[in-house]
Structure 1
Amino acid sequence: MSASSSASASSAATGAGAGAAGREADPPEQRRTLAVLIAAQTLSGAGLAAGITVGALLAGDLLGSTGLAGIPSALFTGGAVLGALAIGRICQRHGRRPGLAAGYAAGALGSLGVVAAVAAHHVPLLLFSLFVYGAGTATNLQARYAGADLAPPHRRGRAVSAVLLATTFGAVVGPNLVTVSGTLAEGWGIPALAGPFLLAAAAYGAAAVLLGALLRPDPLLLARRLAAAGPAEAPSAGSVDTDTVAAAGAETTATRGPGLATGLWVMLLGQLVMIAVMTMTPVHLDDHGHGTGATGLVIALHVGAMFLPSPLSGRLVDRCGPVPVAVAGGLTLAAAGVLAAAAPPHSVGAVATALVLLGLGWNLGLVSGTAIVTAAVPLERRASTQGLVDVGLAIAGSTGGLASGAVVALGGYPVLAVGGAAVALLVVPVALATARRPGGAPPRRVSGP
C-alpha cells in the first residue's frame, strides 16, 4: 500500500471515529441552544402552573358557578391558538429567538392583567387577560421544537425531552407556592388567588429576557443556513460542528409524509383528555372539602409527571420508535381516567395517583408526536407547520377545558374521567394504523446523520 493510500485510510478512519464520537454527543451549537432553552423553561414552568392551579377557582369566585369553572382553561388554551399561530409565523420569518421571546412577553402581560382584574373584580378584563396569558402556554410548548432544530435525527427525542424536562422545576414548585404567593398578594391588598399570577408575570418576563438576550445563534436560522450551504460550503472547521452540518443537510431531502397526521392526532387526543380532567380536578377536590394546599400538591405532582419523565420518553422514542411510545401514552391516559373515576373523593392520594398517570400519558404522547411531526416536515416549512400543529393542540385543550365544566355539572367528575379514558383509547388505533400502512410508519431510529 502506498504512503498516500495509507494516509487516506488513516484519514478515513479518523473521520469515521470523529463521526462516531459526534453521534454520541450533541454538537456545540446544539449544546448552547439546549442550555439557554433549559434555563428559560425552568423559569417559565412557574408561569405555566399558575393558571392550572387557580384558574378554575378564580372562575368559581368571580362567575359564581361550577358549570363555568372550565372557562379560564378554555380561554388560556384558546389564547394559545392565536399565540401558537403568531409564534409559528414569527419563527418562520425571523427565527426562534424573537418568536419565543415575544410569546413569553405576552404571557407576562396577560398575567399582570389577571392580577389587575382580580383586584378590581373586573370580569371582562379577567377573561381578556386569561386569553392573552395563553400565549405563555403556547410558547412553553413551542420551545420544544427549538430544541430539535440542530439535533441529529437519532437524538431528536432526547433533545425534545430535555426542553420539556426543564419545565419541571418551575411547574412543580409553582403550585406549592400558592399559599406563599397568596400571602404576598394579600399584603399588597390583592386577593390571595391572584398570587400565582404575580409569580407567573415574573417568571414569563424573565424567560422572555433570557431568550431574547442569549439564544444566539438562532437554531432555526442556523439550521437553514447549514442546509442551504451543504457540507461542501459549510463554514470552516471549528466554527460549526460537522455533525450539525450533516444533520441540517439531511433535512433538505425530507418530505411531508403520512406521519404528520399521525403525530398531530396523537398529540390532539392526549391534550384534549389531559386538559379536561386536569381542569376540573381542583374543583372536584374543593367540592369535597380539600384546601388549596392539597390541591396545589396534587397539581404539582401532575405537572411533574407531565415533564419529569421526559428523558425516559425521549430515549424510548429514539430507541423503539415513536409509534410504540404513542400507543403506551394512549393506554396510560385511559388508565388515568379510569382511576380518577374510581378514586374516593376523600382520598387525596388516590386522586394524585390518577393525575400522575394523566401527566405521564400526556408526556409520552407529546414527545412521540413531536418526533413524528418533526421528521415528517421539511426544514423550510418546519416552523410554520409546527405552529399550526400547536394551534390544533390549543383548540383541543380549549375544547376540553370548556366542555369539562359542563360535563361535571351535568354528570359529575367520574363521568368526565371515564369519558376521557374512552377518548384516550383512540390513540391506539390511530398510531397502529399508520404503522401498518405501507410506507406510513416513521423510522424507528436513525443510526447517524
Structure 2
Amino acid sequence: MCAHDDRTSSTSEAKDGTGDVSRDRLQRRTVRTLALTQIVAGVGVATGFGVATLMAVELAGTPELVGLELTASTLGSAAAAAILAAVAHQYGRRRALMSGYLVGAVGAAVCVAAALSSNFWLFVLGMILYGSAQVAGLQARFAAGDLAAESERGRAVSFVLWASTIGSIAGPNLSGVAAAVDDTLDIPDLSGNFLFALVGFLIAVGMIGIWLRPDPLLRSREGLEPPGERQKPRRIAPLSTFAAPDARLSLVALSTSHLVMVSLMAMTMLHISHSGMSMGWVGLAFSLHLAGMSGFSPVFGWLADVIGRPSTLVVGLLLSLVSLLVLGTSPATVSWSSATGLLLLGLGWSCVMVTGSVLLSESVTTEHRLLAQGGSDTLMLLCGALGSACSGVIVGNFGFPTLNVIAAVVVLPALLLALSSVRRSRQGEGGKSAAVKAAA
C-alpha cells in the first residue's frame, strides 16, 4: 500500500507542478531529511545501547548471561539488514526506513516492559528488535546516494553519516534527564533511556513519512523499469551479486574494517581501564574514537570524489594498520599513544565505511543494488559480532598485542585487493589516454 502511495504521490506532484523540481534540488532535500532523521534517531540508538549492559546486569541475576543482550542485538541487526533491503527493493526507501525505526520503537517498548517485569529474556527479545533501528540508520547512507551525481555521491553519503555523530554524542549525555524521568514516573532505573529511544524512533518515523517524498529510490528508477514489475528479491544477496571486482572489494573492505574496529574498540577500552586512571580519562579516549568514526566523514567523502574510490579505500585501510601498530605498542594506560591509536582506528573505519558504501552502490546493476547493500550490511554486522566474540578470548589467552597482530593480518587481504583495484584503474586510464593519442 505504501509503495502505491509513493508512486501515486510522484504522479500527483508532477501534475501540480512540484514534480518539475529538479533532480539536484530533490537530492538536496533528501539529504537534509536523512541527516535530520539521523540526529533524532541517533540519540535513540546511543541512549539505549549506552545502558544496555547495565540493565542486563540488573536483570540477568548471573554474570554469565551479561553480554548476551548485545550479541542478540547484533544478530537482530544482521537479519534486519537483509529484510529492510528487500522491503526497499519492493516498496522504496521510505517504507523500509519507517519499518526499521518502527520495529526499533517496539523493541524499546519491550525493553521497558522487561525492566518493569524484571525479565531478562524479554529484555533480550527487546534488544533483538531494537537493533532494527541501528540498521535503518546504516541504510540511510545508501538512500543519500540514490539520486546523487557520481561526482558528489561520496559527499552525500558522508554527510548523512556525519549527522549521526550529533546523536551519538547527545544520547549518552541525556542519562541524567532519563534518570529524572525514572524517578518522576516511578519506573525502574535506566528505563527512561529506552523511553527516550522510543520517542526518538517515532519522531524519525514521522519525519521520514512526511518529508521523504517523493521516495528517492523510486524516483531514481523512473524510466528504468515499468512500475509494478519488479521481482521480489531474495532475502540475502546471492554471491553472484558481487561478481564485479569493485563489488567484491567493497564487501571485503567493509566487513574487514568493521570486524577490526569492533574487536579493538572494546578490548582497548578494557586494556587501558585496568591502569587505575580515572574513568574521565578513559571516557576522553573513547570520545576521540567516536569523533574519528564519524566526525571526519565529510573529508573522506570529498576525498573519495576527488581521488577515486579505490585510492581512498587504500587510505582507510592504511589508517587502520597504523592504528593497530600504535595500539599494539601502547602501554596499558591512557596515554597519547593509546588515544592516538583509538582516533586512528575510528578514522580508518570512517574512511572505509564512506568509500566502500559508495563504491558498492556504483559497482552493481540497478537490479541487484538493494540486494548487494542488504547483503553487505548483513555480513558486516556478522563480522562485527564475530570480532566481539573472539577478541576477548584472544586477549585473555595471548594478550592485547597479539590481538593487534592478528587484526593486522586480517586487514592485509583487503589492502592488497584495494591496491590491485587502484593499479587496474590506472592501467585503464592509461589505455584510454593511449587510444586518444592514437586517434589524434
| TM-score, normalised with respect to structure 2 | 0.79
Which residue number corresponds to residue 152 of structure 2? 155
- Match for residue 100 of structure 2 among 100, 103, 126: 103
Shift of residue 442, structure 1, vs aligned partner:
11
Contact 2:311 2:422 in 1 (8 A): no
**For residues 384-403 of structure 1, what are the alpha-carbon distances to aligned partners after superposition, in whole Å with 9 as ceiling and x for unaligned?**
32111111112112212222
Inter-CA distance 403–182: structure 2 relative to 1 (3 Å threshold):
farther
Shift of residue 329, structure 1, vs aligned partner:
1.1
- Structure 2 CA distance for aligned equivalents of residues 100 and 224 of structure 1: 18
- Structure 2 CA distance for aligned equivalents of residues 314 and 76 of structure 1: 29
Which residue number corresponds to residue 438 of structure 2? none
Which residue number corresponds to residue 389 of structure 2? 402
Shift of residue 64, structure 1, vs aligned partner:
7.2
- Structure 1 CA distance for aligned equivalents of residues 427 and 341 of structure 2: 34
Which runs of no fewer than 5 residues in structure 1 stay unpaired? 1-24, 230-254, 444-449
- Structure 1 CA distance for aligned equivalents of residues 427 and 250 of structure 2: 12
- Structure 1 CA distance for aligned equivalents of residues 249 and 76 of structure 2: 25
**For residues 82-136 of structure 1, what are the alpha-carbon distances to aligned partners after superposition, in whole Å with 9 as ceiling and x for unaligned?**
1111110110000000101110111222223233334543221222222111111
- Match for residue 211 of structure 1 among 194, 208, 212: 208
**For residues 304-347 of structure 1, what are the alpha-carbon distances to aligned partners after superposition, in whole Å with 9 as ceiling and x for unaligned?**
32111111101100010111211111121223233334444442
Aligned identity (percent) is 34
Larger RCO, structure (CA 8 Å, separation 6 or more): 1
Inter-CA distance 129–413: structure 2 relative to 1 (3 Å threshold):
farther
Secondary structure of 2:194 counterpart: helix
- Structure 1 CA distance for aligned equivalents of residues 169 and 312 of structure 2: 24
**For residues 247-283 of structure 1, what are the alpha-carbon distances to aligned partners after superposition, in whole Å with 9 as ceiling and x for unaligned?**
xxxxxxxx96221111111100011111222234555
Which residue number corresponds to residue 47 of structure 1? 44
- Match for residue 321 of structure 2 among 331, 334, 340: 334
- Match for residue 343 of structure 2 among 347, 352, 356: 356
Q: Which amino acid aligns with 1:158?
A: R
- Structure 1 CA distance for aligned equivalents of residues 352 and 429 of structure 2: 15
Moved more, 329-338 or 371-380: 329-338
Which runs of no fewer than 5 residues in structure 2 stay unpaired? 1-21, 227-241, 431-440
- Structure 1 CA distance for aligned equivalents of residues 87 and 111 of structure 2: 26
Which residue number corresponds to residue 275 of structure 1? 262
Contact 1:340 1:355 in 2 (8 A): yes
Contact 2:316 2:352 in 1 (8 A): yes
Contact 2:274 2:332 in 1 (8 A): no
Secondary structure of 2:144 counterpart: helix
Q: Which amino acid aligns with 2:415?
A: V
Which residue number corresponds to residue 4 of structure 1? none
**For residues 38-95 of structure 1, what are the alpha-carbon distances to aligned partners after superposition, in whole Å with 9 as ceiling and x for unaligned?**
1101112223323553444555555578786554433222111111111101100000
- Match for residue 393 of structure 1 among 380, 389, 398: 380
Moved more, 118-127 or 40-49: 118-127
Inter-CA distance 442–422: structure 2 relative to 1 (3 Å threshold):
farther
Moved more, 296-305 or 159-168: 296-305
Q: Which amino acid aligns with 1:176?
A: N
Shift of residue 405, structure 1, vs aligned partner:
3.5
Shift of residue 169, structure 1, vs aligned partner:
0.7
Secondary structure of 1:265 counterpart: helix
**For residues 206-244 of structure 1, what are the alpha-carbon distances to aligned partners after superposition, in whole Å with 9 as ceiling and x for unaligned?**
212211221000000001014459xxxxxxxxxxxxxxx
Shift of residue 375, structure 1, vs aligned partner:
0.9
- How many residue pairs are counted as aligned between the two chains? 395
Contact 1:268 1:393 in 2 (8 A): yes
Inter-CA distance 422–151: structure 2 relative to 1 (3 Å threshold):
same
- Structure 2 CA distance for aligned equivalents of residues 361 and 66 of structure 1: 33
Contact 2:257 2:352 in 1 (8 A): yes
| TM-score, normalised with respect to structure 1 | 0.78
Q: Which amino acid aligns with 2:160?
A: V
Contact 1:175 1:299 in 2 (8 A): no
Which residue number corresponds to residue 319 of structure 1? 306
> What are the equivalent positions in structure 2 for 1:82-231 lying under 5 Å apart?
82-185=79-182, 188-190=185-187, 192-228=189-225
- Structure 2 CA distance for aligned equivalents of residues 440 and 65 of structure 1: 59
- Structure 2 CA distance for aligned equivalents of residues 194 and 441 of structure 1: 57
- Structure 2 CA distance for aligned equivalents of residues 152 and 81 of structure 1: 29
Q: Which amino acid aligns with 2:120?
A: V
Inter-CA distance 440–375: structure 2 relative to 1 (3 Å threshold):
farther
Moved more, 351-360 or 327-336: 351-360
- Structure 1 CA distance for aligned equivalents of residues 277 and 268 of structure 2: 11
Shift of residue 425, structure 1, vs aligned partner:
3.6
- Structure 1 CA distance for aligned equivalents of residues 343 and 64 of structure 2: 25
- Structure 1 CA distance for aligned equivalents of residues 277 and 184 of structure 2: 24
Q: Which amino acid aligns with 2:166?
A: F
Inter-CA distance 345–193: structure 2 relative to 1 (3 Å threshold):
farther
Inter-CA distance 258–100: structure 2 relative to 1 (3 Å threshold):
same
Cα RMSD over matched residues?
3.2
Inter-CA distance 182–338: structure 2 relative to 1 (3 Å threshold):
farther
Contact 1:326 1:427 in 2 (8 A): no
- Structure 2 CA distance for aligned equivalents of residues 301 and 133 of structure 1: 26
- Structure 1 CA distance for aligned equivalents of residues 204 and 172 of structure 2: 18
- Match for residue 301 of structure 1 among 288, 295, 299: 288
Contact 1:91 1:384 in 2 (8 A): no
